[in-house]
Structure 1
């Protein structure tokens, strides 16, 4: 009952006296905190206690309030809420440096988030305390992404006078301060009983992520996505502190990337002249992500997953080969021909223009999944090349051909980006732990695991010293659980993966004693059966469940987080994200009564 007493005392501070206001007298319902749950009860006429709104109750009925993802070091949400005036929020940057423009953009976003906490059609009272937010960036000259960037922050909120609240956010980089602003926005709630904005007072939060890589992959080749839909995704990512938008920009079905040096690739390969991404489009997305603490990671998948756009180059084999099931996993088939020296000039031109467009990237994804030896073996030219190199036409020899391609492509990538940046490859026969050291240097390559979380390859690769990003399809592929688009029945990775399974997918459990080699994880939305019309619902709020796992690696189960998850879904909807509903709204208002 101690928490309940705190909640009641908090409202007493807001109102200023123990006499119910007119708004309270007309409220039919009120919420009270009992056993760490907000209980909905009738507001009877004889009630003399101050009435607590639902979100105010939830803020103090759990150690982490309504925060998502939950902080990892220290969380003290104090005992009080104060009314604030949204029109008198002042944000001050205390240290100057080259990241000031990013902080200014983050401050503007913060004010927008505060505004979105008020339901559409309502206008909160312009009454209450003024709020001054002090942003203290200890390293204001850092504005570059890296795997060892410091995203930690400290947040303090106090009331210095009867009419003012101060909030101070300290971080060792822009990225940390930005994260602190995101948390601060979650500590401001709308009181729908009194039509006021409220801020939590006497707060101390110290926080940092467990994993440095926390991503979403979006495939924009199977179906095209507008720049606005991509930006909307990045907005939602920022709200839950995900930091990597992995852009799978081309595939065998389409080539929407406009290149000045190789213009025919998009002219022949895009679905239409309007469904393309120019260098300016990409730079706009990259800057948009940077301001929100989200790196935009480019992928050019090769040597498989190519086709449309390459028709006139003479650099592919088995493109649109039939029956396609003999040569690839989905139509149309297509792979690059590693024996063509001209191919590597093409790749260098592609890499150079990607480096120019994705100018803030600190990594490059080279794809490398689902390479078919049958496809390569269907080419007499490739067969002759292998024989001339005294290779057989068996699996081990085709791995040598693949390695020949990868080494040449790697050299061109380093040249194009002007540095030996970390390279990422999907798990494949090339990355098999029994022979991976023959082909890929563990200091140069990061392996992204897309097979199941129980795959022996995980432990095998970790034991060999490789760093991993987890995208195990049995928990993190968000295109699963729909009707088959080739064949009959359901699609290949069914059933649908719910938020509970996403939340429980722990890289630490999979890594065991090699946890330090896990860089993090990434959910994937492959787009054979998705486009901008379904994007938000496929990703959200499941990606938010993933975000807390990546940020905090919680030891608790889904049931302990579900009530906060329901709130973050509501928050995303208020931001304009069309997130799927998890439960009836009745469950949101009757906490604890819908758990299984």
Structure 2
């Protein structure tokens, strides 16, 4: 009662209350002494009432509860009652026996039925049904590769080692114990035939062979490949044969399958992921996380849609005005050194970077400096209203095709991009969603009856010439361009040579554009909006105009989309596919969950293309197998620091097959 009354008194009245209540100073000293004695008794009670040491409680597991990536791991002491047994190639959850023997769900999953590899290998694959424990300190590395591949492979092994380290769950409050070691050394050997190949092309052989076996007292993992890229993929697969068993050795242990043989090669040479950094700026560190996820899933083309009508954040040495006028803020830019660093970061992970500056549409902010530099108007329709008349989304803007200075600026842009990326086989010039009404209303028309498709086509032809000049007079083998009305007959064959352009078909899978391009003999990259646009389904972001591409594409839709459907004509013309993330409603905060694990589902489609009998006579994979493997892959990516979207309730993971 007394403390409650004191809390109601204003602070300035509490001192006078004590003086009236306690009387003489001696009374106050006696009161304080009593309070101190009570406090000491309370502390002694709390000390003796502590629970006994966890080491004295048998058959208990310390289950980690990770509060955040950067926080310490906290552990709750519980009696874990479940174990998993392999029955009919499926892990079944059961109550643990009285002996306290536990088989973890991960160990059961890795040894029961499915390979748990992602993406699924395309060649003969045999995995052992037993596992052995080891410690990361046992890892050693050997390679006969020479430079420049040697340095790249050594870096790949360092990443492999780091991925293994990320699996380890340190148990708090556990007694120190010597890690279980079922063999002497774990020796990883990498052999490549061509040490000079460290630049990816569409003809690069990315195949590999992995053999894992015991030799005497050592575990030997041997990766054999034609070049660095295949070797890197082999090390990625080897890392997926390793897991952490929280029940092993009392405090947990690394485990690996006792033997394995994998032959693997991708079905498609181009396995891309497009990220837009113009609608919302994405820091370099966020883009590096994208590359980490791509490497984990063997995707190999990072298509960087770096600019659009909203912003131009790329600082180009030859045309710095674009970023000066077009970035959201001075710190929201990509410098030349940052681009080069990102390109090398990607290459070390088996990925090439293709930078796209989209023209003649999707330009605007960043391009308005022409008059100040004496170059005239480089663009038109910039930020005009009502926007719906002149572009697909605000703000509007298109290149001024009648200004000859435009093409000089484009040549400088293209030269800088080639120098920054080192990429000269594939070059993307954009080319989609030109609004003819913008040109009709804002051009200084010398001939009002000119066919505006001819204006569009002639602009594209000149842009292709400038790409050639920027590349030292040699046309890149594949100049990419988005599908559009210009890539339809009769303009397709009038302006675009099938031997010079690679068309990225983004329309719906039921549209006629893809089969028409294929039947016309054009090389195609498929990015169908109704399956592989990962930004769709989040509602509209503006008041006028509906959402562009509802509904949401779940991972199952991404995975099951197979537009070529085994057609040999398609397989000849389709060089690969690309999933796309436009960022009107995504930024660095939501980036990971927009991508993963849906982009992983896409990755297996373009690496393995499972769905028919594989080349080694294996029947079509069951949907239960796919669910189990993608859940395992999601857990791997989480351990590498990626924030994956949840697939289903955790109960479904602990009870395989019961949610299907």
TM-score computed with the length of structure 1 as normaliser: 0.91
2:328 is the alignment partner of 1:277: no
Q: Which residue of 2 aligns with 1:232?
A: 289
> 1:99, CA displacement in angstroms?
1.5
1:301 deviates by 0.3
State the 1:380 CA deviation. Answer: 3.9
Whether contact under 8 Å (1:500, 1:558) holds in the other structure is no
The aligned counterpart of 2:644 is 579
- Alignment equivalent of 2:389, drawn from 306, 323, 326: 326
Q: What residue is the counterpart of 1:156 in the other structure?
A: 211
Structure 1 pair 551–380 and aligned structure 2 pair: CA distance change class (3 A): closer
After superposition, the Cα gap between the structure-2 partners of 1:467 and 1:121, relative to the gap in structure 1 and judged at 3 Å, is farther
1:401 is matched with which residue?
A: 455
1:172 corresponding residue in structure 2: 226
- Aligned-residue Cα RMSD (Å) equals 2.0
User: Does 2:199 align with 1:144?
Assistant: yes
Query: Could you list the per-position Cα deviations for residues 420-476 of structure 1 after superposition, in whole angstroms to 9, with x for gaps in the alignment?
Result: 211001110111144411111111111111111121111111011111111101011
Q: Does the CA-based 8 Å contact 2:525-2:578 persist in structure 1?
A: yes
Residues 528 and 510 from structure 1, CA distance in 2 versus in 1: closer, same or farther, beyond 3 angstroms? farther
SS in 2 for 1:399: helix
Structure 1 residue 336 corresponds to structure 2 residue 394:
no
Cα deviation per residue 1:264-322 (whole Å; 9 max; x = unaligned)?
21111100000000111100110000000011111110000000011121111111111
1:44 to 97, 108, 125: 97
Tell me if the contact between 2:400 and 2:443 (Cα under 8 Å) persists in the aligned partners: no
Specify which of 251, 254, 268 is matched with residue 211 of structure 1: 268
Task: Give the Å deviation of 1:401.
Answer: 0.8
Q: Mean alpha-carbon deviation: is it higher for 89-98 or for 532-541?
A: 89-98
Does structure 1 residue 348 correspond to structure 2 residue 401?
A: no
Distance in 2 separating the partners of 1:121 and 1:63: 29
Residue 379 of structure 1 and its aligned partner are, at CA, apart by 2.2
1:463 aligns with 2:519: yes
For 2:433 and 2:648, how far apart are their aligned partners in 1?
38
* Residue of structure 2 equivalent to 1:259: 316
Whether the 8 Å contact between 1:145 and 1:362 is mirrored in structure 2 is no
2:534 corresponds to = 478
Q: Structure 1's 94 and 27: CA in aligned 2 closer, same or farther, altered over 3 A?
A: farther
Task: Tell me the SS of whatever aligns to 1:509.
Answer: coil
Distance of aligned partners of 1:196 and 1:121 in 2 relative to their CA distance in 1, 3 Å threshold: closer
The Cα shift of 1:172 comes to 0.4
Which residue in the other structure is 1:184 paired with? Answer: 238
Q: Is the 8 A contact 1:507 1:518 kept in 2?
A: no
> SS of 2:271's equivalent?
strand
| Cα distance per residue 1:317-360 (max 9 Å; x no partner) | 11111111001001111100111111111011111111111124
- Counterpart in the other structure of 1:101: 151
Q: 1:193-216, CA deviations, whole angstroms, 9 ceiling, x for partnerless residues?
A: 011111112210000000111111
Partner SS, residue 456 of structure 2: helix
1:35 correspondence with 2:88: yes
Unpaired stretches in structure 1, ≥5 consecutive residues: 1-20
CA distance 1:510–1:487, shift in 2 (3 Å): farther
Q: d(CA) in 2 for partners of 1:83 and 1:220?
A: 44
Residue in structure 1 matched with residue 105 of structure 2 by the alignment? 54
Tell me the distance in 2 between the aligned counterparts of 1:119 and 1:502.
32
Distance 1:510 1:440, change over 3 A: farther
- Displacement of 1:559 in angstroms is 3.9
Please state how far the C-alpha of 1:55 moved relative to its aligned partner: 1.2
Runs of 4+ in 1 over 6 A off after TM superposition: 21-24
Q: Distance in 2 between matches of 1:100 and 1:224?
A: 36
Give the Cα separation in 1 of the matches to 2:538 and 2:505: 23
- Larger Rg, first or second structure (1 or 2): 2
In the other structure, the counterpart of 1:288 is: 345
Distance 1:23 1:104 in 2: 41
Contact 1:257 1:276 in 2 (8 A): yes
Q: Give, in angstroms, the shift of residue 73 of structure 1.
A: 0.7
Match of 1:7 in 2: none
Q: Deviations over 1:52-83 (max 9, x none)?
A: 2211111122242x210010011100232111
- Within 5 Å, give how 1:381-400 maps onto structure 2: 381=444, 383-384=445-446, 386=447, 392-393=449-450, 397-400=451-454
Work out whether residues 457 and 491 of structure 2, in 8 Å CA contact, stay in contact via their aligned partners in 1. no
| Deviations, residues 90-117 of structure 1 (Å, cap 9, x unaligned) | 1111221311111111111000111111
Listed one character per residue, the Cα deviations across residues 453-500 of structure 1 (whole Å, up to 9, x for unaligned) are 121111111011111111101011111111211236862201111000
Query: For 2:362 and 2:454, how far apart are their aligned partners in 1?
Result: 19
Mapped partners of 2:125, 2:171: distance in 1: 34
Change (3 A) 1:173 1:398: same
Question: Is the counterpart of residue 553 in structure 1 residue 609 in structure 2?
Answer: yes
Q: Secondary structure at the match of 1:508?
A: coil
Aligned ranges for residues 413-428 of structure 1 at < 5 Å? 413-418=467-472, 419-421=474-476, 422-428=478-484
- Are residues 1:377 and 2:440 paired? yes
Q: Contact 1:216–1:244 (CA<8 Å) still a contact in 2?
A: yes
Distance in 2 between residues matched to 1:27 and 1:160, nearest whole Å? 37
2:119 corresponds, among 61, 64, 69, to: 69
The more displaced of 538-547 and 452-461 is 452-461
TM-score by length of 2: 0.82
Q: Is the 8 A contact 2:555 2:598 kept in 1?
A: yes
Contact 1:189 1:199 in 2 (8 A): yes
Q: In the alignment, which residue of structure 1 is the partner of 2:655?
A: 590
Closer/same/farther in 2, CA of residues 35 and 456 from structure 1, 3 Å limit: same
Paired with 1:33 and 1:433, the residues of 2 have a C-alpha distance of 58
